Every structure is written in C-alpha cells, then in structure tokens.
Amino acid sequence: MPKLDESLLTGLPPFSLLDRAQIREILDQAVSRRYDEGTAIFREGHDADRFYLLLDGYLRVIRSTPGGEQIIVLHISPGQLFGIAPALQRDTYPATAIAAAESIALSWPVRVWDDFITRYPGFATESYKTLGQRLGQIQETLTEMATQAVEKRVACALLRMVHQSGRKSDKGIEIAFPVTRQNISDMTGTTLHTVSRLLSAWQKDGIVESTRKHIVVTDPHALVVLSEA
C-alpha cells in the first residue's frame, strides 16, 4: 500500500485536534481498501474485528428485522467513522455496511480502539458524538416507518439523501450515489410498487426525475411540502 498522507485525516472530526506526528502514527496502523458498488464491508452479527473510516464513496447501513426483512436505516458519507462496535461495547457488528458506490475506506484492528481513545485528544468525544447522531437517525427512520403515511416517508427518505449527498445539476439537486426504487422501498418499509407509483407521479408533477439508479430532485420545495404533509 502506498504511504498515505496525513492530510487525509487532518480536519476530520475524530482527528482534528491531533498534530501531524500523531496522525502519522494512526495512518501507519491503517489498511486501505477499495470496495466495488454493492460489496459488503461487514455483515450484521459477524465478529467485529476492525473499525473503519470512509475516505471516498457512500455506504448503506442495513439492519434485519425480527421477521427477516432488510431495512436501510442510514447512509454514511466520506470522512465518517463506521463499524465502531467497540463504542457500543459489542464484539459483533450491529448492522451490515454495503458500498452504495465505489468506495475507499481505511480500517484498523479493534485491539487499537482503547489506545486511540486514551492517547488521542478528541477521538473519543467525536466518536461518541457520531454514534449518538447515528442512533438518533435510526430512531427517526423507525419512528417514521411506524407512524407516517407512505408518501411522507418516501419524501423524507429522499430529503435525507439530498441533505447528505446532494449536488447541484442543471436540472436540480442530484443524489450523489446510485439509488434504486428497491433501495427506497427498503428505506421506507413499503413496497416496490408503491415507490414506483409515487416517483412516477412526482416526476409527472415536476418534483423529481428518476431513472435507473439515479434521482434528481427538480423541485426541492415541493418535496419538503410533501415531507411535512
């Protein structure tokens, strides 16, 4: 593996209080790997032997229900830690992480977690802050699925992806990673048919443009109105 530059981590929240020498120590213990779209980086219930930092790409985090259904509970953007089972006092991963697009991640063995927490200022506080935010997002998603109408759930799911990865295009705001109608179905606890019907209707109304694995929100305000209906 080519020697990674310290600038990769400078400014990222878990490492922002560290000097270059400390970041060098951390990078020298890391392994870098590229993951193709659709690759599982780790799976729910498997031994948590490593924790990760996403450098490039996007991830889907998937959890299984007691009934065996797969639910996409959140997405992870570049610059974020993930697979941090030690922060939950777990020795297995609580969810599955799938590359939503071609991705690059650093990883470290879990045996260095306690050392990082102890030696590097800000690493612990930022890691636990990230964990709290993730748990809040998951709770919000599950609450929506239990209490909100389908149209509102789908609108909220699209808005979350726009807020996380949206980039401006000639037509509106494009979701930066591939997303299918089945993905949205798995995010919202509804059927593929219902998602297809809603997206087709919204496309006709000029709110979104949806093609295979690609969504552009052409009228963000209208989508916000739908999410609040």
Write the CATH number for 168: 1.10.10.10
The domain boundary residue, chosen from 145, 178, 202: 145
**Which tens digits make up the pLDDT trace of 131-148?**
888 888 888 888 887 788
**Which tens digits make up the pLDDT trace of 65-112?**
887 788 898 899 999 999 999 998 999 999 999 999 999 999 999 999
| Structural domain includes residue 1 | no
The domain boundary residue, chosen from 128, 145, 162: 145
Give me the pLDDT at residue 129, please.
Answer: 87
Number of domains making up the chain: 2
Please, what is the average pLDDT of the chain?
A: 91
Average pLDDT of 158-183?
92
Burial classification of residue 61, based on how many CB atoms lie within 10 Å of its CB (0-12 exposed, 13-18 middle, 19 or more buried) = buried
Strands lying side by side in the sheet with 208-211: 167-168, 173-174, 214-217, 208-211
Average pLDDT of 166-175?
91
| Structural domain includes residue 163 | yes
138 Cβ neighbours under 8 A, 6+ residues apart: 63, 73, 74
The CATH number of the domain where 140 resides is what?
2.60.120.10
Whole-number Å distance between alpha carbons of 15 and 41: 23
95 and 122 share a domain? yes
Whole-number Å distance between alpha carbons of 23 and 150: 46
Average pLDDT of 158-175?
91
Q: How confident is the model at residue 28 (pLDDT cuts 50, 70, 90)?
A: very high
**Residues spanned by the domain of 201:** 148-227
Q: Is the pLDDT of residue 31 over 90?
A: yes
**Which tens digits make up the pLDDT trace of 200-220?**
999 999 999 998 889 999 999
Give me the pLDDT at residue 33, please.
Answer: 96
The domain boundary residue, chosen from 145, 164, 185: 145
CA end-to-end distance (rounded Å), the chain: 51
| Structural domain includes residue 209 | yes
Average pLDDT of 179-188?
93
Give me the pLDDT at residue 229, please.
Answer: 64
